[in-house]
Structure 1
Amino acid sequence: MLVFSIIASALAPGLALLTYFYLKDRYDQEPLHIVVKIFLLGFLIVFPVMILQRGMILWFGDSPVVNSLIISAGVEELLKWFVLYHLIFNHIEFDEPYDGILYATAISLGFATVENVMYAWYSQAAFGPMMIRALLPVSGHAMFGVIMGYYIGHAKFTDGKSSRGFLLLSLLLPWMWHGLYDLILSMMTHYWLWFIIPLMVLLWYGGMGKISRANNRSPFRIIKRDEEVKT
């Protein structure tokens, strides 16, 4: 019973947030089975990430700055971006800007959910610590996914050099914010909450704006509006 409670409390935040972002797809919802597959791919990339991070720690040492910016944020965001670009960017179902946000948050939340389960399993965490993880690391990964997906959506529906620029931003910006997040946690042992909470508020505020703007650029918006006018 205890094991079930631990696993359930670890799975709940990621699944709840995934449901939230899925329902935010206002005009043309994606096939649920594809979203679930991308979510499960987030599970799988945990293992190559762990292997790469372990090797890099042995190579570079355990410097807080290098660990936060390169080994943690860099490896994690690069692998998520790599999977998204190669499996989703040219997928037929990626047909509106918000889809980038949905698929990026799906893979990010899959990754964060496995991290959460591992943390809960090995630490036997109580309700309080699990709530903190739901509010911080899990939702943090979701916001990094929103940023990544927003610019991937821009790149998908923009031509020429601007497309490549947005594609580069889709990797660099979540990497930067993730690195800042990890840097605060690793270097501020006593006052980290004073910095993390404003950072999370800023990320959520910016993320909600990106979701709204991505939905507003949907080509299905006009179609749906015309259908509503006719009825």
Structure 2
Amino acid sequence: MTTNEPQPGPGRPVNPTWLGQIRPEDYRQAPANPAGRFQPAFPPGPAPVRARRSTAGALGLVLAGGLLAFTSIFLVLPFLLARTGVSGFIVGFVASLIPLGTVLLTVRFIDRWEPEPRQLLLFAFAWGSVVSIAVTMLIQPYFSLVAGPASGLDYTTFAVTVQAPVVEEFAKSLGLLLLLLFARKEIDGPVDGVVFAFTIAAGFAFTENILYFGRAIAESSDPGTDLAMVFFLRGVMSPFAHAIFTGTTGIIMGFAARRGSNGPAALAFVAGLVPAMLLHSAWNSMGRDFLAQYVFVQVPIFLVAVLVIMLLRVAERRLTRQRLAEYAAAGWFSAAEVDMLATGRGRRAALRWAKSVGRGAQMKALLAAATRLAFTRQRILTGRDVPAGLRDEQHQLAEIAALRAAVIG
């Protein structure tokens, strides 16, 4: 990531380019440490590891999502059992855990730098695995009735290349839109968008895999062979297919989260659906030349997705360092502490040391709190709900002072 990065000082704003543009008139100095430079604001002692507080909107979203998921089970579960049977459902459920674990471990890796609240990740998974499936089931018949004849395609081709991409991506991305509307404070940019999109997609693919794997058991004269074939295609060759489709929507909506109004969120939802639907349709359209298209089209798309995510993570780290350096200038950290808090190498060394002296939990909490503080400052400087951001900043600075004192102990 390139930056226009003059040294902080009066009238000299630090202004990152594409991870949230900051207008010079919106820049403000970090608040000074009233306790003096590099001094803990609280006496040494065991500091509480504070949980990330949820906003009312996020809490309401989680509760509403849980209710929707519970209701949707009564539609989705009978649908699966009717097509797989009990034995097929059980085998499909167990087999589906493998690709699900692969995607969720990837989500955990991507999300390590600035972890998202667990309750919102649970909402995302529940939305993908149950609610979006129910939405798809409810919408598909009407979409087919309205758009099918107008497409001029036979039903099978229409269902595979048009209906499934449009309806499924719409159903999955509705969860992203709800997160952006009601938990915007927790979405700091495209990396967060990818994390939530991948989690929703992992849930959707999990339930869809139960159906495909279960049917291989229930409808085949040679269930072992057919299950192995379907598992290889879906669990080995393409566990990230849905994640990449919906991930494009997540990236675009993650950028929109840096804006302070709902207008950009709605536009990003629509704009983000286009590449997701096109990628999904291209995947479903692969026919006789499946292997060639997989190797020469889908594999490069996957590699590009990996590269984009890596670049976004690098940009996220640089942004963290840039913002924490401003707090260091205001007396909250030393230069060495910024290096420790804002680099992977520094964090690993800090955790090793803290664990060796029995303060690993406090150090983990300090690293997480410092990252949240950096993104809170970025939210303030880009004009996103500045009054709430300033209040959060004061709470987080006090928390960091307490945690820093506990770590130094």
The match for 1:15 among 98, 101, 109 is: 101
Given the two structures, how large is their TM-score scaled by the length of structure 1?
0.83
The match for 2:235 among 134, 149, 156 is: 134
- Number of residue pairs the alignment of both structures matches: 226
Structure 1 residue 210: Cα displacement = 1.9
Distance 1:128 1:66 in 2: 25
Given the two structures, how large is their TM-score scaled by the length of structure 2?
0.49
For structure 1, the residue ranges without an aligned partner over 5 or more in a row are none
The match for 2:159 among 58, 63, 67 is: 67
Asked whether the 8 Å contact 2:252–2:272 carries over to 1, the reply is: yes
Asked whether the 8 Å contact 2:127–2:172 carries over to 1, the reply is: no
Distance 1:221 1:39 in 2: 31
| Bigger Rg, which one | 2
Give secondary structure in 1 for the equivalent of 2:310: helix
Distance 1:12 1:89 in 2: 32
Change (3 A) 1:54 1:199: farther
Structure 1 residue 56: Cα displacement = 3.4
Structure 1 residue 217: Cα displacement = 3.4
Q: Give deviations 1:41-79, integer Å, cap 9, x for gaps.
A: 111211220232234345526445532343110111112
Distance 2:240 2:280 in 1: 12
Distance 1:34 1:56 in 2: 30
Alignment partner of 1:112 is 2:205: yes
Moved more, 136-145 or 93-102: 136-145
Alignment partner of 1:80 is 2:172: yes
Q: How does 1:1-231 map to 2 (within 5 A)?
A: 4-44=90-130, 45-58=132-145, 60=148, 62-91=154-183, 92-124=185-217, 125-157=226-258, 166-184=268-286, 188=287, 190-218=288-316, 219-222=319-322, 227-229=337-339
Amino acid at match of 1:175: M
Structure 1 residue 223: Cα displacement = 5.1
Asked whether the 8 Å contact 2:324–2:338 carries over to 1, the reply is: yes
Distance 1:90 1:150 in 2: 18
Structure 1 residue 193: Cα displacement = 1.9
Change (3 A) 1:223 1:5: farther
Change (3 A) 1:210 1:10: same
Distance 1:50 1:163 in 2: 26
Q: Give deviations 1:169-216, integer Å, cap 9, x for gaps.
A: 3111111111111122xxx2x322221333321221111122123223
Distance 1:56 1:10 in 2: 28
Instruction: Spell out structure 1 runs of 4+ moving beyond 4 A.
Output: 2-5, 158-167, 223-226
Asked whether the 8 Å contact 1:143–1:204 carries over to 2, the reply is: yes
